[in-house]
Amino acid sequence: MIKIWSMKKEAENGQKKKPKTSAAQLRVQKDITELELPSTMSTNFPNPSDLLNFELIIQPDEGMYKGGSFKFTFNISNNYPHEAPKVKLTQKIYHPNLDHQGNVCLNILREDWKPVLNLNALVVGLQYLFLEPNAEDPLNKDAANDLLRDRNQFKSWVAASMSGKPVKGEPYDYVLAR
Amino acid sequence: MSHGNGQAHTQTHAHVDKVLEKGGPFTDEYFQAGKDVKKFLREQCKVLIIGAGGLGCEIVANLALTGFSDLHIIDMDTIDVSNLNRQFLFRSSDVGKSKAVAAADFVMKRIPNVKVTAHHNKIQDFGDDFYMQFNLVVCGLDSVEARRWINATLYNMVDDDNPESLKPLIDGGTEGFKGQSRVILPTISSCYECSLDMLTPPTTFPICTIANTPRLPEHCIEWASVLEWPKVFPSKKLDNDDPDHIEWLLNKSLTRATEFNIEGVNWSLVQGVVKNIIPSVASTNAIIAASCCNEAFKIATTTAAYLNNYMMFIGNEGVFTYTFEHQKRESCVVCGGETMDLEVKDEMIVEDLLEILKQKAEFQVRKPSLSNDQGNIYLQYPPQLEEYTRQNLSKSLSDYKGQTILVTDANLPFKLSLRLV
């Protein structure tokens, strides 16, 4: 066998044993403790010792969705950051970039995710969806068409849907902040 | 044993003997030709092979033919009919059997005096004790997660007081006509985690394209698996290995494809997309496995310089290889960051440790968060977790003596490992 040990002694001076936290876990610890959440966002950990599953609550203070309280679930796999976290909205809302099942159309959640990105990038991206709904790349095509056709009408439908009223016959969840 | 077999065995060794009986221009300075090195290779060296698939089949056969005689092979998988074109240790009668067991049996039947021990397991089923018994680990995996696990495990096993605890890891990987082999010496060279950013991310498509403007057969399949499945079966998890589930996805995707005039949706594409199957090419596997086994042989015998430390192979158009030394990454989650011993007094509590850290000019930490292998000790943010872990601030540091505490902070490259003494 090669004499690795003598190389090791040369290579370093008394490095010590490291504990067995999984690489994903440790990266999540770093990401979470270094989150910079503005006053419009907060997190909730149903099990505070499990950092891989948590909720993000966004309460926009401007834009068409102002006054709403939107709860997303984050599910991070042991292959983070190679794989992006799985993010879903828990409520059914009227929004061009979210479908009725809570799927989110945000590029960095899927096709543009890279390990150099972090949770901060994702939460900023999610908040942006409420400030600037994007009708160009819709997930809810109906809502997107409504927005393109008549912005004011769309705005009033958003307001109605957030207070739990149906829009064009489709029921929505009550999402106004208490 | 038949005469013919015995002769074949001697002949195999005769070729290998040529490089073990005298040194050459590239021989390591520690190399000592002759009996001892042969004995180590053929009787003592114990090698673990992880994965008994396309690469693993090649690796186990190559190592056995090189003269290694004590091999272990792990694979959690069973043989599928689609494996038979390239996983040449398996026959159609083996379909459904454990890959590790079938590969081990085949090699032992064909190559005399080789013992291959099969483990039909996940690598995570075993602990340090198991991995400690080997001299070398050779990986032929297709999973990033498994590679990250074994890399971190071997890294963490390195014990300063025990030279035997450092296990060279030889990692092979292929993707179609491309492949790589690398030698990882845990704690010495850059590790697998260091290069995580270089990996091709799994293929995904924008969810809005899938939902509204599909153009490719893959879009239809993702539509069925990502959007339709959870809608129709909200409480049932999609099982990629269940033929009924694949059948359901196929039918859904076909309907969608017809609606949008898209051609090319079929059973194997559905399976390929949902399981993220990357085409596997037998010749690439053979080349990469050969490189890995060559490295295993060189490391075990020191007959020649081993790979330092990354060889990539691209066979898409012609043959191109490039070898370079992948550097350690300072911000690597597994091997990056500093490690130090910190002397603490018994009467100190966790809160004192935070103060000590903040006052150490060399770190510049401001809001250190602490954890160990049991979980979180103190997290600075978000408020809920700070409150939850605050109770630990008054814990005595004597509870943590001898343990390693991981410190993360925005000002650290990644982390700092502290051992309290």
- CATH, residue A34: 3.10.110.10
Edge-to-edge strand list for the sheet holding A70-75: A41-44, A53-58, A70-75, A86-89
From chain A residues 4-43, the ones with a CB under 8 A of any chain B CB are 4-5, 7-8, 11-12, 14-24, 26-27, 29-30, 32-35, 37, 42-43
Question: In percent, how much of chain A has pLDDT > 90?
Answer: 78
Question: Is a pLDDT exceeding 70 seen at residue A74?
Answer: yes
- Alpha-carbon distance B196 to B171, whole Å? 14
In contact, B375 and A50? CB cutoff 8 Å: no
> One-letter amino acid identity for B274?
V
Residues of B in contact with A135 (CB under 8 A): none
Which residues on neighbouring strands pair with residue A53, listed in sequence order?
A: A75
The greatest distance separating any two alpha carbons of chain A, rounded to the nearest whole angstrom, comes to 76
Specify the CATH architecture of the domain B340-420: Roll (3.10)
- Whether residue A83 has pLDDT greater than 70: yes
Q: What's the mean per-residue pLDDT of chain B?
A: 91
Q: Which of residues 114-133 of A touch B (CB under 8 A)?
A: 114-116
pLDDT over threshold 50, residue B2: no
Q: Is residue A85 part of a domain?
A: yes
CB contact under 8 A, B160 and A17: yes
The helix, strand and coil proportions of chain B, stated in percent and rounded to the nearest 5, come to: 45, 20, 40
From the list A21, A83, A104, the residue facing B371 with the nearest CB is A21
- When CB atoms are compared, the residue of B163, B226, B339 closest to A18 is B339
For residue B375, name the pLDDT band (cuts at 50, 70, 90): confident
The pLDDT value given to residue A19? 44
Binary contact (A2, B159; C-beta < 8 A) = no
Number of domains present in the structure of chain A: 1
Residue whose structure tokens are 């984050």: A74
CB contact under 8 A, B196 and A139: no
Mind listing the pLDDT tens digit for each residue in B82-122?
899 999 999 999 999 999 999 999 999 999 899 999 999 99
> Could you write out the DSSP letters of every residue in B272-307?
HHHTTPPPB-HHHHHHHHHHHHHHHHHHHH-SSPPP
Q: Which amino acid is at A140?
A: N
d(CA B80, CA B90): 10
pLDDT at B161 over 60: yes
Q: How far is CA A94 from CA A106, A142, A143, B267, in A?
A: 16, 9, 7, 36
Task: Please indicate whether, in this complex, the C-beta atoms of A139 and B207 are within 8 angstroms of each other.
Answer: yes
Comparing CA positions, the residue from B242, B196, B172 lying closest to residue A115 is B196
Domain ranges of chain B: 14-200+280-324, 207-275, 340-420
Q: Are A41 and A56 in contact (CB under 8 A)?
A: yes
Any CB–CB contact under 8 A between A47 and chain B? no
CATH code for the part of the protein at B207-275: 1.10.10.520
Q: Contact at 8 Å (CB) between B138 and B146?
A: no
- Cα–Cα–Cα angle for B119, B139, B322, rounded to 5 degrees: 165
Closest CA to A22 of A43, A50, A42: A50
By the CB < 8 Å criterion, does A146 face chain B?
no
Residue A6 lies in a domain: no
Q: ∠ CA(B166), CA(B170), CA(B174), 5° rounding?
A: 155
B151 to chain A: closest CA residue: A23
Asked if the structure places residue A173 within a domain, the reply is no
Lowest model confidence (mean pLDDT) among A8-12, A45-49, B59-63, B370-374? A8-12
Confidence label for A16 from pLDDT (cuts 50, 70 and 90): very low
In single-letter form, the type of residue at position B109 comes to K
Strands B169-175 and B136-140, bridge-based pairing: parallel
Q: What percent of chain A has pLDDT over 70?
A: 91
Residues of A with Cβ-Cβ distance to B207 under 8 angstroms: 103-105, 109-110, 139
d(CA A3, CA B302): 9
Helix (H, G, I), strand (E, B) or coil at A100: coil
Of B158, B300, B410, the CB nearest to A1: B300
Cβ-defined contact of B385 to A48 (cutoff 8 Å): yes
- The confidence band for B414, taking pLDDT boundaries of 50, 70 and 90, is confident
Q: Select the CATH number that applies to the domain covering B14-200+280-324 from these four: 3.40.50.720, 3.10.20.30, 1.10.10.10, 2.60.40.10.
A: 3.40.50.720
Q: Is the pLDDT of residue B377 over 80?
A: yes
pLDDT confidence tier of residue B198, bands split at 50, 70 and 90: confident
| Cβ contact B382–A30 (<8 Å) | no
User: Domain limits at A49?
Assistant: 23-163
- Assess whether pLDDT exceeds 70 at residue B47: yes
CA distance B222 to chain A (A): 12
d(CA B23, CA A66): 77
Nearest residue of chain A to residue B37 (CA atoms): A1
Among A161-170, B9-18, B206-215, whose mean pLDDT is lowest? B9-18
Comparing CB atoms, the residue among A1, A17, A34 nearest residue B410 is A34
CB contact at 8 A, B91 and B84: yes
Q: What is the pLDDT of residues A33-58, one digit of tens each?
A: 999 899 999 999 999 989 999 999 99
Residue B220 annotated among the catalytic residues of the structure = no
Contact between chains at A101 and B227 (C-beta distance less than 8 A): yes
Minimal-distance CA residue of chain A relative to B205 = A111
First to last CA, chain B: 59
How confident is the model over B8-46, as pLDDT tens digits?
556 678 889 999 998 888 887 888 888 999 999 999 999
In chain B, which residue's Cα lies nearest the Cα of A44?
A: B384
Task: Categorize the per-residue pLDDT at B338 as very low, low, confident or very high, splitting at 50, 70 and 90.
Answer: confident
Strands A41-44 and B46-50 come out as unpaired
The distance of B195 to chain A (nearest Cα, Å) reads 11
List the structure tokens of A117: 């990105």
Residue A17 lies in a domain: no
Residue A44 forms part of a structural domain = yes
Residue A11 forms part of a structural domain: no
Tokens of residue A18, six digits: 């490291």
Q: What is the pLDDT of residue A12?
A: 54
Average pLDDT estimate for B386-401: 92
Please list the residues that pair with B339 across neighbouring strands: B417
CA distance B336 to B329: 6
Looking at residue A9, its pLDDT comes to: 63
- Picking from B45, B197, B207, B328 by the largest number of A CB atoms within 10 A of its own CB, the best residue to mutate is B207
Q: Which residues of A are catalytic?
A: 105
d(CA A36, CA A28): 14
Q: Which of B20, B155, B208 is the best substitution to test chain A (most A C-beta atoms within 10 A)?
A: B208
User: Is position A3 within any domain?
Assistant: no
**Contacts B408 to A, Cβ<8 Å:** 26, 29-30, 33-34
What one-letter code names the amino acid at B106?
Answer: F
User: Does B383 sit behind a cis peptide bond, omega within 30 degrees of 0 on the bond before it?
Assistant: no
